[in-house]
Chains A and B, each alone.
Chain A
Amino acid sequence: MSDKQRITVTVNDQEHDLLVEPRTLALDLLRDELRLTGTHAGCEQGVCGACTILVDGKITRACLMFAVQLDGCSVETVESLGSPDGTMHPIQRAFSENHGLQCGFCTPGMLMVTQELLRREPRPDAETARAAIAGNHCRCTGYQHIVASVCAAGRAMSEAEHQHVDRQDVEHQGARA
């Protein structure tokens, strides 16, 4: 067995200082060492997308990356979504409301893909949403409700954004008055 390497990685805003074997996959680091089991292993061949996480904001297949490659990176997994008070993230809520999941195994990957998409394309149309999830297999849903979920999440988040801006405006004006 080869010597372990020291890495520093931030996962969902928490910094970890870790010793890892060079051959450990990023996926296994998250699931087995950090016990973040929301990220799933569907194929470990880079095909299904169930293991999708965001590394420095970019869509990444955790099964195709070694843990040591995460050194100095910031990782987001499905566990980053939602609040401890039980409030779901708007993406999670949209998936639930639009029945964008059945068994839920592909879902963490789908949610992370959606998170990345909505950051660069806040109001995707159905075609854009369909293209964004094309690299992620879902064997249950036939995708239609996932596409609807992605679009609904975009709508909900941009509306919330607007309301937020409106409220700020009001508060701002209130302060001036």
Chain B
Amino acid sequence: MTDTTTTDPAAATGEGFRWIGKPVKRKEDPKLVTGRATYVGDVNPPGMLHAAILASPHAHARIVSIDTSRAKALPGVVAVLTGAEAAEVVGPMTAFCAEPVPQHAIAVEKTRYWGEAVAAVAAVDRYVAEDACRLIDVEYEVLDPLVDMVEAMDPAAVKVHDTLEGNVVFHADKSYGEVDADFARADRVIRTHARWHRMGAQPIETAGAVCSWDPFTASMTIWSNSSFYNFLPWSFASMLGISTSRMRMIPCAVGGSFGSKHLLNKVIAISGALTKVTGKPVRYLEDRLENIAANDNVGCDRIYDGELAITDDGEFLSLKLHCIDDYGAYFQFGPGQHGCALAQPVGPYRINSLQYEVSAVLTNKVQQGFFRGAGADHGNFILERLVDAAADELGIDRAEIRRRNFIQPDQFPYKIPSGNVYDSGDYEGVLDRALTLADVEYWRAEQKRLRAEGRYIGIGLATCQERTAYNATEWWFLYDNPPLPATSTPESIKIDIDAFGGVRAELGCPVWGNSPQTVASQVIAEEFGIDPADVSIEHNDSTSGAISAGPGGSRLTVMLSGAARGAAGQLREKMIRIAAHAMEVSPEDVELSDGVFRPRGVPTHTGLTFADVAMKAHLFKQTNPEGESSGLVATYTYDHPLASMPTEDRKDTGAFYPIVSHACHIPIVEVDPESGLVTMLKYYAVNDCGTVMHPKLVEGQVIGGIAQGIGAALMEEYRYDEQGALISGSFREYLMPSSHEVPEIVLEHQETPSPVTPYGVKGAGEGGRLIAPTAIAAAVDDALKPFGVWIDELPMTPERLVEVIARAEDRAEDEESGR
């Protein structure tokens, strides 16, 4: 049942909606502000045991022996499992890669990163469980740790996995379009290097699961903050060695994810194994160190070399990107983050052709998961840096060179050289609006004035894409022989209307900081002409049987709107048929407005209320139209509105991330060249995510994303010592912006509705973080222009910046003495 809606007439004008786009009350709030929401740490079934894990103190070591006898003897301890023992009751964690890189929740034989679990304990409380971990005796044979991705590429290097030929787990070199010809006709080639270090999502709530095994019915109940319970429930079931039909995964309130809580196999496998051996419910909830050190928290860790072929007029012709990506010790999601980057490698610009080369390298660090941006954040960084370098080299204003290369509004739908499609956009409109909003003239004058006082302020500019609403093909099109070439990414909803006309919807997705309850109630209210406050919202669990991919890839608002509109439409049609029959008119002649069904064009008719018709549907079968089933319930699954298959030869990825938002960010920074400290003074952004579903909620997503982008630009980093030990395992070392580091953010919207989505909405969940880092990099090198500084490495920590300035000064001196 696919909704193949084309242009929504109301969306095209941006008017005519009663609830879409209105700042209605957020439905999620009452539970959250009163402390009544149930997070996984609040789930506490009778008899529940608490788990703790023993973590490896070595980045790379063979496990020679483990003796758990002292731990088992401790009063209060119920079970202790080594990796080998756990592997007897649960299987390896689901991986989406084609290569043989098995991963167990508790290491078997060998530990491959610092902090990897080597044993787990279940005890009467967490204190006793942690005591018991200290009583486990492990003998390790320490191996050489691989900390540097370039060294790990050496064929002579020690291997992270003996099942692989080397540590380059995946390599692809793809050309799309006439790259050589475009480079041959270029007047010049702009080159830059870029380095983006490891960062992580760091939600304030860690990951956890409560698993409860009933050995007598061979069934398991799981509470967790994973979001894939209605998408890939079978993957959890197979890992746990149980049947999907005997598994119930219940969602909890989620204390932030930012991409890090899709699967969460580790916590589910560990509590799953422990409940299977104890027959009691077990909660394993990571502590902060475990969440930072050993989860799906980490984003990409990339080295880029980029080349942009241009003409002397500043026209972009072709792009070459060469990337090395440090995946850490496992390859859980395969090269999916590069699939994601290929959604928008050429940004909002007309670029004819593209070469994309990636080497995915394994090292002895925790594996990559997903983090807001999912690989496209880094892509924006290298591309925008190339664009700035091109502008600087040609002496063209950085805004002007963008303007010359923007895809024009009449060119949509626009197919990029690699195959993804952009549905719509008006990039110049956004740019103009941002330049006005930021009053760049004023800041240029300020810059000049303050420079005379010895202060360095800078103005950055970035114009980037935010690809939204992904399709599953992004996970595998880089493979010639993918292990799971899935092509669905749907969202489902169930709506029922009771006999008194009360409307309730069951969502298949969790709340992880976004607002699916509010969005669903807006859409349902819009379709029924009722008040969103009158729509009740529940969340179903994995037994719903309806597939929902949930939040991720900035998809939920788009996809949930489609599902809610579909289900509401079916129920409305049924009610219209029943009302028409009762009023003895034909269904085409009935309209629903303000909760009353009336013959069209007869506003004086008393009509039938929503409740009247609901009661008829529930209890008056014999007087309803013939063949109409009793009751009012509909489950609707909305599939992707604009996705297509990759071609067999993979020269075309197909459309897989085609609902494309856009934004222009202009940050104003001040840099102290002595200390290397960057202070954010002000931040301007103009965002275009199509029809704005709810102004406050979109604003929250964008501002929150920008704050994370400030972290990425200036402070966030996983740091390891030479032995591969993590030295940023708490929020004291892994620095994130506090309220002092985030300046006032001034935000405006332009609305270019999508022609293919319900109401014209596009996603908005990742844009802030996708764009802010590169915009801030541009602002910093603008501030430090007198020193000739060029930013190509993030985060720009004070230490790094002082070094960059010193290097730039040395270079300037060398040039002078050379002359």
Contact = CB atoms under 8 A, between A and B. Distances in A.
Contacts of A92: 33-34
Interface string B11-29: 0000000000000011011
Contacts of B708: 139, 142
A102 B513 contact: yes
Contacts, number: 169
Contact of A134 (B514, B738, B744): B738
A42 interface: yes
Contacts of A78: 34-35
Nearest to B709: A142
Given A37-B41, A38-B35, A105 B30 contact: no
A40 B177 CA distance: 53
Contacts of A96: 25-26, 29-30, 33
Interface string B211-223: 0000000000000
Nearest to A79: B35
Interface stretch (A54-62, A106-114, A117-125, A163-171): A106-114
> Size range of the interface on B?
35 or more
Please classify the interface of chain A as helix (H, G, I), strand (E, B), loop, or mixed, using the class held by over half of its residues.
loop
B696 interface: yes
Contacts of B26: 96, 99
Contacts of B817: none
B744 A144 contact: yes
A144 B745 contact: yes
A21, A130, A144 interface centre (most CB from chain B within 10 Å): A144
B205 interface: yes
B36 interface: yes
Nearest to A142: B707
A11 interface: no
B250 to A, nearest CB: 16
B35, B258, B697, B737 interface centre (most CB from chain A within 10 Å): B35
B32 interface: yes
A44 interface: yes
A139 to B, nearest CB: 5
B512 A103 contact: yes
A88 B384 CA distance: 47
B32 A101 contact: yes
B620 interface: no
Contacts of B29: 95-96, 101, 104
Contacts of B514: 102
A152 interface: no
Interface stretch (B327-335, B425-433, B641-649, B728-736): B728-736
Nearest to B76: A1
A104 to B, nearest CB: 3
B33 A45 contact: no
Contacts of B696: 99, 145
Contacts of B33: 81, 88, 92, 95-96, 101, 104, 107, 111
A99 B699 contact: yes
A138 B738 CA distance: 8
Nearest to B35: A38
Contacts of B697: 99
B731 A48 contact: yes
Contacts of A139: 201-204, 256, 258, 704, 708, 736
Nearest to A93: B33
B777 to A, nearest CB: 19
Given A96-B29, A106-B204, A47 B707 contact: no
B39 A40 contact: yes
A88 B30 contact: yes
B700 interface: yes
B287 interface: yes
B730 A105 contact: no
Contacts of A140: 256, 513, 700, 704
A23 B125 CA distance: 12
Given A45-B731, A48-B731, A103 B205 contact: yes
Contacts of A19: none
B256 A134 contact: no
A105 B203 contact: yes
Closest A-B pairs by Cβ, 10 of them: A38-B35, A104-B32, A105-B255, A142-B707, A103-B513, A78-B35, A102-B513, A142-B703, A47-B731, A37-B42
29 contacts: A23-B127, A36-B35, A39-B35, A40-B39, A47-B730, A47-B732, A92-B34, A96-B25, A96-B33, A99-B696, A102-B513, A102-B700, A103-B203, A103-B204, A104-B31, A104-B37, A104-B513, A105-B204, A137-B736, A137-B738, A139-B202, A139-B736, A140-B513, A140-B700, A140-B704, A141-B707, A142-B700, A142-B737, A146-B739
Interface of B: 25-26, 28-39, 41-42, 44, 75, 125-127, 201-206, 253-258, 287-288, 511-515, 696-697, 699-700, 703-708, 730-732, 736-740, 742, 744-745, 768
Given A21-B127, A99-B696, 9 more contacts: A38-B35, A44-B287, A101-B32, A103-B203, A103-B513, A105-B255, A139-B256, A143-B742, A144-B744
Interface of A: 1, 21, 23-24, 28, 31-32, 35-45, 47-48, 50, 77-79, 81-82, 88, 92, 95-96, 99, 101-108, 111, 130-131, 133-135, 137-147
